[in-house]
Amino acid sequence: MGSPAGAPAKRARSEGSPDPRDTDRGDRCAWNTDKYKSRLWDTERLCQHLSRCGVGNPDLLRRFRGTASALAGQGPGPGPGRGVDPSLAPAESGVTGRMLLELPACAPEVTRVCCPAERLEVLACLKQLPEKHMDVLKVFNDPIHGHIEIHPLLVRIIDTPQFQRLRYIKQLGGTYFVFPGASHNRFEHSIGVGYLAGCLVRTLKERQPELGITQRDILCVEIAGLCHDLGHGPFSHMFDGRFIPMTRPDLKWKHETASVKMFEHLITSNKLEEVMKSYGLVLEEDMFFIKEQIGGPIDETACEKSWPYRGRPKEKSFLYEIVANKKNGIDVDKWDYFARDCHHLGIPNNFDYKRLLVFTRVCEVKNQKHICTRDKEVGNLYEMFHTRNCLHRRAYQHKTGNIIELMQVFQNNVILVLILSQTRITEAFQKADKYFEIRGSGGKVYRISTAMEDMEAYTKLTDSIYLEILHSSHPELEEAREILCKIERRELYKFLGETRPETKKEIVENNSLSESIANSKPEKDPPDVELKAENFIVDVINMDYGMKEQNPIDKVHFYCKADPSKAVNISKEQVVSKFLPITFTEQVIRVYYKSQDPNIISAAKQYFIQWCMQNDFTKPQDGDVVAPHLTPMKRTWNNVRDDEHRRTSEPSCKQRLPFHE
């Protein structure tokens, strides 16, 4: 049972004006405001509130009061002559506003002043309180989830510069240059995750009251879902997946780390501590809980302990599997971005998270509670991971979207003079670096590669840097501006093709790959063109079902209809369908070349094919790499295994000609 949601008063009551508590709506709004601090209400104040809300009959409220005068039979309260045990009605019952915020944990304290037959009635009445305050929740019209109601505290978080920053960060980065519909941002995704997090935790609370989920728990889970992506940089995963590793290769940095720091900065800079307290949160515990849901255990030695988290005890371990599930990857973050990305990309989404909500419950596994799914939903979960893989293949790892992001990364390396030993820096680009100074706290200046060290500076870092460079008139930005103009004109680096290792050897992306291709000059009819290693771009892509080579379903716990309290595992062999994947990971190597000259591109493709043959990779696919004059002899590419691979691969509108001897 949670506290009724309310909204802070928009202006202070002037002297002589009527007290808002004198009206039903005023009292409802007063529940969670800073001014009235409802969590500190004493018994008398609480009973007045319950009476105005129409919860509980007069006799019940008098029993809640239980004053000394009532015990003596001198007042309206129940006295000994009315058959009330004085031990159940002390001079002050002690039922306070704080207890309502912490139901059902405080249910014994709330109901101890009631007769046993009345206790269920009391709890049922108190459970109605949130429904009587729905008019103060803010409604968002979301294209994915429809009209969704957001708690006032979440609205206060949304209405901050740190959260509004997410409006200007594309959810899919460079994919927008390929899919015109992929214009959505981290802002709406974060709101959707916060909403779904609340849906899941409330479903568990209603289905299993014995879990002891409180309103504090629900609010903290919703906040974690809302704020889980605060730390993303420009063009989302381009920043932490490509830009930072290239500019600061020794830095082990994740956007989740920045999300935790940005959340702390959001709360302190907007002075939301007291607002959080007014809604029943205990800052010392709940701040830890929220941050742990976003970034994992905060204590560096936590992994050595049996229970690494500080925000919630081990009995509530399942709460850490809602926003970011480290166990098996089934969480509300994926539920939202699957639905939202498919909607904007125009790709069908066959996964139904609403059905999964219906068949989700908590079971105990090895003395720890986990979120489990009904056994018959195993096919729906495979569909979820298949949707993830499909999105990566068709959109997230699109060859054109990737090269645009790579071109942006290379541009940033040169123009912003970020520390890279191999980057050729000139005096002109050093001046350009100064142009992009970002001022943080205390007036300190940061670069793009260091802005995440100061959250005030990082708040200013969004996708807007793209347009700043594109529309700049500074001479020192000419080269960077030209790169972005080429992107606008679609003059991109040429795609030579993609290949895969025939064996299970793992290819690591580094400069030696480009050098290796540049040294793979064809032995037969070599092209009369000199190709430089620095012009070859090798993009190594690892695609899987979320857990590398492991089947993620092996990490999922299920329950059966016959015994819903017992968790079981379902192996791949137990699933009847024959359409399940044999392997759950795949590595793709894509090669580009920095030139628009057809003769040079033709020569580069021959170098690439020679490199594939020397390293026992699969036949290059896609692009124009399968043209007749680029098909040298390779017996192993004509065997049965390759033919089967061709038949089972994705269809392509481009003709794939067989290799001839």
List pLDDT tens digits, range 458-495: 999 898 888 887 788 877 778 778 777 877 887 777 88
* Mean pLDDT calculated for residue range 247-266: 91
* Segment 497-518 mean pLDDT: 74
Q: Is the pLDDT of residue 158 over 50?
A: yes
**pLDDT number for residue 489:** 83
Looking at the fold, whether 442 and 499 belong to one and the same domain comes out as no
pLDDT at 142: 96
Sign of CA dihedral 417, 419, 420, 424: positive
Out of 56-70, 108-122, 405-419, 478-492, least confident range:
405-419
The whole-angstrom separation of Cα 49 and Cα 6 is 13
Distance of alpha carbon 105 from alpha carbon 112, whole angstroms: 13
The residue among 471, 437, 520, 461 whose CA lies nearest residue 239 is 461
- Highest mean pLDDT range out of 8-22, 62-76, 188-202? 188-202
Count of domains for the chain: 4
The pLDDT, as a whole number, for residue 544 is: 60
Take residue 11 and report the two structure tokens written for it. 């202006």
Contacts of 443 (CB under 8 A, 6+ apart): none
Do 395 and 457 belong to one domain?
Answer: no
Report the pLDDT value the prediction gives residue 203, as an integer from 0 to 100. 95
**Do 205 and 333 have their domain in common?**
yes
Q: What is the mean pLDDT of residues 228-247?
A: 84
Q: Which two tokens stand for residue 337?
A: 């971005």
Residue 11: inside a domain? no
Q: 3 and 49 in contact (C-beta within 8 Å)?
A: no
Question: How far apart (Å, rounded) are the C-alpha atoms in residues 517 and 161?
Answer: 47
Same domain for 205 and 308? yes
- For residue 175, tell me if it sits in a domain: yes
Least confident of 59-63, 398-402, 493-497: 398-402
The residue count of the chain comes to: 661
Answer whether residue 29 shows pLDDT above 50: no
What integer pLDDT is reported at residue 161 of this predicted model?
A: 98
CATH number at residue 627: 3.30.70.2760
Which residue, chain included where needed, has tokens 């590669």? 449
Q: Report the C-alpha gap between 280 and 31 in whole angstroms.
A: 11
Name the DSSP class of 593.
E
Give every CB contact of residue 41 below 8 A, 6+ residues apart in sequence. 49, 96, 97
Structure confidence at residue 81 (pLDDT): 37
Look at residues 365, 421, 425 and name the one whose alpha carbon lies nearest to residue 557.
365
Confidence at 4, pLDDT banded by 50, 70, 90: very low
The segment with the largest mean pLDDT, out of 227-241, 271-285, 385-399, 541-555, is 271-285
**Looking at 145, 151, 232, 255, which residue is catalytic?**
255
| Residues 519, 499 within the same domain | yes
Based on the fold, state whether residues 66 and 212 are members of the same structural domain.
no
Q: What is the pLDDT of residues 590-601, one digit of tens each?
A: 888 888 888 998
Sign of the alpha-carbon dihedral angle for 199, 203, 204, 210: positive
Cα–Cα dist 227/355, whole Å: 25
Q: What is the pLDDT of residues 536-561, one digit of tens each?
A: 888 777 766 555 566 677 788 999 99
Model confidence at 180, in pLDDT bands (50, 70, 90)? confident
Residue 503, pLDDT above cutoff 60: yes
pLDDT band of residue 124 (cuts 50, 70, 90) is: low
The most confident of 39-43, 254-258, 298-302, 316-320, by mean pLDDT: 316-320
**Is residue 190 in a domain?**
yes
Select the highest-mean-pLDDT range: 16-20, 186-190, 247-251, 632-636: 186-190
Residue 167 has what DSSP assignment? G
* 498, part of any domain: yes
User: E strands, 297-435, where?
Assistant: 360-365, 368-374
Distances (CA, A) of 301 to 227, 288, 304, 306: 25, 15, 6, 11
pLDDT band at 277 (very low <50, low <70, confident <90, very high): very high
Q: Are 314 and 431 in a shared domain?
A: no
250, exposed or middle or buried, with CB in 10 Å at 0-12, 13-18, 19+? exposed
365: DSSP letter: E
Query: Which among 133, 156, 178 is the end of a domain?
Result: 133
Reported confidence tier of residue 511, pLDDT bands at 50, 70, 90: low
Mean pLDDT, residues 116-124: 64
- pLDDT, position 645: 42
pLDDT recorded at residue 616: 80
What spatial distance separates the first Cα and last Cα of the chain, rounded to whole Å?
Answer: 75
For the question of residue 265 being annotated catalytic, the response is no
Q: What percent of the chain has pLDDT over 90?
A: 28
| Model pLDDT, residue 359 | 92
Task: For residues 514 and 625, state if they share a domain.
Answer: yes
Model's pTM, two decimal places?
0.71
Query: Which range is most confident: 5-14, 67-76, 147-156, 504-513?
Result: 147-156
Angle of CA points 461, 223, 146, to nearest 5°: 90
Domain boundary among 133, 154, 185: 133
Rg (CA), the chain: 30
Q: pLDDT value at position 352?
A: 84
Whether 40 has a pLDDT exceeding 90, the answer reads no
Co-location of 249 and 347 in the same domain: yes
* pLDDT above 70: residue 27: no
Of 629, 590, 635, which Cα lies nearest the Cα of 616? 635
Position 37 pLDDT exceeds 80:
no
How many Cβ atoms sit within 10 Å of the Cβ of residue 356?
A: 18
Tell me how far apart the alpha carbons of residues 102 and 99 are, in angstroms, rounded to a whole number. 5
pLDDT at 170 over 70: yes
Q: What is the DSSP letter of 596?
A: -
Q: pLDDT value at position 654?
A: 38
Using CA of residue 617, residue 622, residue 628, residue 629, what is the dihedral sign? negative
Look at residue 402 and tell me whether its pLDDT is greater than 60: no
454 and 533 assigned to the same domain? no
Nearest to 557 by CA among 368, 306, 296, 286: 368
User: Biggest alpha carbon distance in the chain?
Assistant: 112
pLDDT value, residue 232: 93
Check if the beta carbon of residue 283 is closer than 8 Å to that of residue 273. yes
Q: 382: which strand partners?
A: none
494 closest CA partner among 411, 417, 574, 603: 603
558-559 β-sheet, strand order: 360-365, 368-374, 558-559, 567-568
* Residue with the two structure tokens 């300190």: 444
Tokens in use for 537? 């771009």
Among the three residues 133, 153, 180, which one is the final residue of a domain in this structure?
Answer: 133
How many Å apart are CA 90 and CA 94, to the nearest integer?
A: 9
Residues 68 and 165 both lie in one domain = no
> When comparing pLDDT for 252 and 428, which is higher?
252
Assess if residue 532 is contained within a domain.
yes
User: What is the chain's mean pLDDT, rounded?
Assistant: 72
Measured between alpha carbons, how far is 122 from 100 in angstroms, rounded to an integer?
A: 12
Q: Is residue 424 part of a domain?
A: yes
The answer to whether position 5 is within a domain reads no
Rounded CA separation 51/90 (Å) = 21
Half-sphere exposure of 220 (CA within 13 A, CB side): 26
Q: Is residue 341 part of a domain?
A: yes
Range of the domain at 610: 494-549+584-648
User: Does residue 177 share a domain with residue 324?
Assistant: yes
**HEC string of 62-108?**
HHHHCCHHHHCCCCCCCCHHHCCCHHHCCCCCCCCHHHHHCCCCCHH
Instruction: Tell me the one-letter amino acid at 234.
Output: P
